[in-house]
Chain A
Amino acid sequence: MSEKKYAAKITVGMASCGIAAGAREVFNTLKAAVKELPLALDFSGCMGMCYNEPLMEMTMSDGSRYLYCQVTPDKAKEIVNKYMESGKPVSEWLAYAEDRDTADKSFLVQQQRILLKNCGIINPESLQSYLAVDGYAAIKKALRMHPEQVIREIIDSGLRGRGGGGFPTGTKWALARKTLSQDKYLICNADEGDPGAFMDRSVLESNPHALLEGMLIGGYAIGAQQGYVYIRAEYPLAIKRLSLAIAQAREEGYLGRNILGHGFDFDINIREGAGAFVCGEETALIMSIEGKRGMPRIRPPYPAESGLWGEATSINNVETLANVPWIMLNGVASFNQYGTEKSKGTKVFALAGNIARGGLIEVPMGMTINQIVFDIGGGLASGKALKAVQTGGPSGGCIPAKLADTPIDYESLKKIGAIMGSGGLLIMDDTTCMVDVAKFFLNFTQEESCGKCTFCRVGTRRMLEILERITQGEGKEGDLELLEELGQSIIAGSLCGLGQSAPNPVLTTIKYFREEYEAHIYHKLCPAKKCKALIRMEVVEERCKGCGRCSKECPTDAISGEKKQPFTIEQEKCIRCGLCVSACKSNAILIYPGARGEEYNG
């Protein structure tokens, strides 16, 4: 950037979520608009406030920051023009400003940002931008320490793996260090297979050098010379920014031979995943890097003893590794002042589903689900009551609203049958059918099972068949017991974490929402009005304006009528796809939980 004096700096959030919401158009408009003005323009990654994207931030010369939300190209121009006229920030569309109360302030002020501290602040494609926030200072510090000392720090910090299992990271490194092995590898697991979780993507797109620095420290600690990032192909922007960061780091001597003159050699390569959930499992991931089908194998030996090409390998998740530089720089005590006794530090959660403020948040471990959903997330988007929160994706469980005072940490979640997983939190209201959710996850794990062990392959298939029957209205007495029994044997008999956790969504929904299953099985009703085979749709005559939109949308021509007269649905033809419901602007199509128009009375 030139010597020019800027009155203010504008930053546009341009992670893939922001771009999808229209940030690129905003950026391009601003680029033209600020050309002749004393305003600097840059872009950053994800600021976490996904529900409000596109986001643009204005930083004044005194350092005060103003965050504008849901910015369109026109709004952006107006913000710039008004600022140039008055020299003051515009109050409209402000999501956050230190000096005022905004509607969205509570989303940010209750967070504790360690990992996300620089996400949405720095330019992810600029090494300079990372260096300006103390980037690569942690590896410099680590290189002056003995590797054992580095490991000690990580053990003492209490950092546990953020990829799901929660294994202590320092202990894993110590094991890999101890193993005698010709070569050693450090692998970053950036597969993020858990649907509904996107924190790893966000870190990769917003602060890729932090991950590289974490890998460097880990590589130094265990004595590795080669690192791999195994990243899912569905994240093209993350791959692009990470590749760029690797090239920059090589150029500046942070990767390669004799790093920073300390005699430490370490390089990092990217391996793209090819769309297999099971490859997030560490032994399958290793097989995949070796160029084979990703089939998990029995552990032990653990990768720390025999991993990639049979050599000692440490596999760590993106979030885990990206926490490491902060811990090295700020010290063990500042990290473990946050969190609970056994779950230290902060955790990033992806809020999605029926939540008013969906996005990424980072909070100290131990915050309760209610605090997260209501205080930070602003409650449910529909304004309805909370029904359940799903954590841990296909390996996790559904937590009912009545247990939403549970603190989120590894142990407390396990106690109620859920797991932390990677930190996806899906918020559900009473329009969610729990049987359908269970079926959805089982369908997922059944398709993604590598097929190696019979329990996982055949067992999940059988469970899915039963769930399908139940949602078809063909559930029978004994189905629930059978599901529970099958679930237990799959957990006991499966080889890897996929099978061992696949029944969890079913078991927790049966445990906490048994009456909903029973309504399907015994009364042929779907209380949430989701299961197509059970429900019925009807036009409410008084509400129907006779516009005919519904009949135009209907794929089976089941709806007919005359303009300006109430339309009718021919039940034999109706496939309950619901397209008419979303097409109707007057809310005139009612859905009943039962096929004969019965109501559900709990």
Chain B
Amino acid sequence: MKDDSRKTTLDPSTRSIIDKIVQENNLNKGAGITILQQVQASLGYVSPPMIRRISKLTGITASALYSIATFYAQFRLEPIGKHLVQVCHGTACHLAGAEKITETITMETGAAEGHTSPDGKFTVEKVACLGCCSLGPVMTINETTHIRLTPEAARKLAKSKKKGCKCEKSSHADQQPGVTPDE
């Protein structure tokens, strides 16, 4: 993975994704953050070569882009695992035992907090409040939200993802955020 982020050239498909995003946003004043966000949303992270490409196209200096990417918690400079696990560590979830949930998940997946597991399957992150505070502890896996977790329930979820359970594909498509029921 590290090797990947050190690659100095971008493959053509990555490059065309970036070029398109820049084209769509470059007219807005101050679009640097938005561009980085959209690149990360499409490619999972922002690597040095991606930043160089964005810099070249927008005229925003690479150092300015780095300074954004390192300031805001959202940006990842490393690729993420197949499953992104985000454990809420907001106040309500902290009081409800978020720490135990993170401990369980990191133990179960082998991914240190803030990092990706050696097998590339899981990235585990602590995040600030997910806005479901009265239902804590809360955690999202690939944008599906799980509430009122216990360590056992969290472990079960991680286990089922490890195995790649059959229901995964359909439930994932079903649970995209913001896909409200079709009328």
Q: Which residues of A contact B (CB under 8 A)?
A: 14, 16-17, 19-21, 24, 27-28, 31, 43, 50-51, 53, 125, 192-198, 201, 233-237, 239-241, 271-277, 288-294, 309, 350-355, 358-359, 390, 393, 424, 426, 428, 432, 437, 440-441, 444, 450, 553, 555, 577-579, 582-583
- State whether A195 and B90 are in contact (beta carbons under 8 Å apart), knowing that A20-B135, A31-B181, A293-B68 are contacts in the complex: yes
B32 interface hit (Cβ, 8 Å): yes
- State whether A426 and B34 are in contact (beta carbons under 8 Å apart), knowing that A274-B72, A275-B73 are contacts in the complex: no
**Contact between A234 and B92, CB atoms less than 8 A apart:** no
B129 interface hit (Cβ, 8 Å): yes
Ordered by A's residue number, 26 sampled pairs between the chains whose C-beta atoms are within 8 Å are A14-B180, A16-B177, A19-B145, A20-B147, A21-B147, A51-B134, A195-B90, A234-B127, A237-B178, A240-B180, A241-B178, A272-B34, A272-B37, A274-B73, A275-B128, A276-B71, A291-B29, A294-B71, A353-B91, A355-B134, A428-B95, A432-B95, A440-B91, A440-B94, A555-B103, A583-B151
B146 interface hit (Cβ, 8 Å): yes
CA distance A582 to B99 in the complex (A): 13
CA distance A329 to B174 in the complex (A): 40
A-B contact count (CB 8 A): 174
**Contact between B74 and A274, CB atoms less than 8 A apart:** yes
In the complex, the 7 A-B pairs of residues with the closest C-beta atoms, listed nearest first: A358-B134, A291-B30, A240-B178, A195-B90, A275-B73, A274-B72, A195-B129
CA distance A197 to B68 in the complex (A): 27
For A200, give the chain B residue with the smallest CB separation. B131
Which B residues lie within 8 Å of A309 (CB)?
A: 29
- State whether A353 and B132 are in contact (beta carbons under 8 Å apart), knowing that A309-B29, A577-B103 are contacts in the complex: no
- State whether A288 and B33 are in contact (beta carbons under 8 Å apart), knowing that A233-B74, A236-B143 are contacts in the complex: yes
Which B residues lie within 8 Å of A582 (CB)?
A: 97, 100, 150-152
B133 interface hit (Cβ, 8 Å): yes
- State whether A196 and B92 are in contact (beta carbons under 8 Å apart), knowing that A20-B146, A201-B131, A292-B30 are contacts in the complex: yes
CA distance A291 to B31 in the complex (A): 6
Contact indicator per residue, chain B 120-148, by CB within 8 Å of chain A (1) or not (0): 00000001111111111010000101110
**Contact between B145 and A193, CB atoms less than 8 A apart:** no
**Contact between A17 and B134, CB atoms less than 8 A apart:** yes
**Contact between B131 and A234, CB atoms less than 8 A apart:** yes
Which B residues lie within 8 Å of A21 (CB)?
A: 135, 147
Secondary structure dominating the interface of A: mixed
**Contact between A293 and B71, CB atoms less than 8 A apart:** yes
- State whether A195 and B135 are in contact (beta carbons under 8 Å apart), knowing that A237-B178, A276-B71 are contacts in the complex: no
**Interface size, chain B (Cβ < 8 Å):** 53
Which B residues lie within 8 Å of A276 (CB)?
A: 71-73
**Contact between A17 and B135, CB atoms less than 8 A apart:** yes
Which A residues lie within 8 Å of B95 (CB)?
A: 353-354, 426, 428, 432, 437
Interface residue ranges of B92-120 to A (CB < 8 Å): 92, 94-97, 100, 103-104, 107
CA distance A360 to B143 in the complex (A): 23
CA distance A255 to B100 in the complex (A): 47
**Contact between B74 and A20, CB atoms less than 8 A apart:** no
**Contact between B132 and A290, CB atoms less than 8 A apart:** no
Which A residues lie within 8 Å of B143 (CB)?
A: 236
B67 interface hit (Cβ, 8 Å): yes
**Contact between B174 and A196, CB atoms less than 8 A apart:** no
**Contact between B127 and A358, CB atoms less than 8 A apart:** no
Which B residues lie within 8 Å of A16 (CB)?
A: 131-132, 145, 177
**Contact between A274 and B75, CB atoms less than 8 A apart:** yes
B16 interface hit (Cβ, 8 Å): no
**Contact between A390 and B91, CB atoms less than 8 A apart:** yes
B91 in complex: contacting residue of A196, A240, A292, CB < 8 Å = A196
Which A residues lie within 8 Å of B36 (CB)?
A: 274
Which B residues lie within 8 Å of A271 (CB)?
A: 33-34
Measured CB to CB, the closest approach of chain B to A584, in angstroms, equals 11
**Contact between B37 and A274, CB atoms less than 8 A apart:** yes
CA distance A357 to B8 in the complex (A): 54
Other A-B pairs beyond A51-B134, A274-B33, A450-B71, 17, CB < 8 Å: A21-B135, A28-B181, A195-B129, A234-B131, A236-B177, A236-B178, A237-B180, A271-B33, A276-B73, A292-B64, A352-B134, A358-B133, A441-B91, A444-B128, A577-B100, A577-B103, A582-B97
Measured CB to CB, the closest approach of chain B to A10, in angstroms, equals 12
Which A residues lie within 8 Å of B181 (CB)?
A: 14, 24, 27-28, 31, 43
Measured CB to CB, the closest approach of chain B to A427, in angstroms, equals 9
Max chain B C-beta neighbours (<10 A), residue from A53, A273, A579? A579
B23 interface hit (Cβ, 8 Å): no
CA distance A352 to B148 in the complex (A): 12
Measured CB to CB, the closest approach of chain B to A452, in angstroms, equals 11
CA distance A583 to B132 in the complex (A): 25
B61 interface hit (Cβ, 8 Å): no
**Contact between B133 and A350, CB atoms less than 8 A apart:** yes
Which B residues lie within 8 Å of A579 (CB)?
A: 100, 103-104, 151
Which B residues lie within 8 Å of A577 (CB)?
A: 100, 103
Measured CB to CB, the closest approach of chain A to B125, in angstroms, equals 10
**Contact between B128 and A193, CB atoms less than 8 A apart:** yes
CA distance A449 to B143 in the complex (A): 28
**Contact between A235 and B131, CB atoms less than 8 A apart:** yes
Measured CB to CB, the closest approach of chain B to A164, in angstroms, equals 15
Max chain B C-beta neighbours (<10 A), residue from A51, A274, A428, A555? A274
Interface residue ranges of B26-42 to A (CB < 8 Å): 29-34, 36-37
A240 in complex: contacting residue of B29, B97, B147, B177, CB < 8 Å = B177
B180 in complex: contacting residue of A125, A289, A355, A444, CB < 8 Å = A125
Measured CB to CB, the closest approach of chain A to B147, in angstroms, equals 5
Measured CB to CB, the closest approach of chain A to B139, in angstroms, equals 10
For B155, give the chain A residue with the smallest CB separation. A553
CA distance A19 to B67 in the complex (A): 36
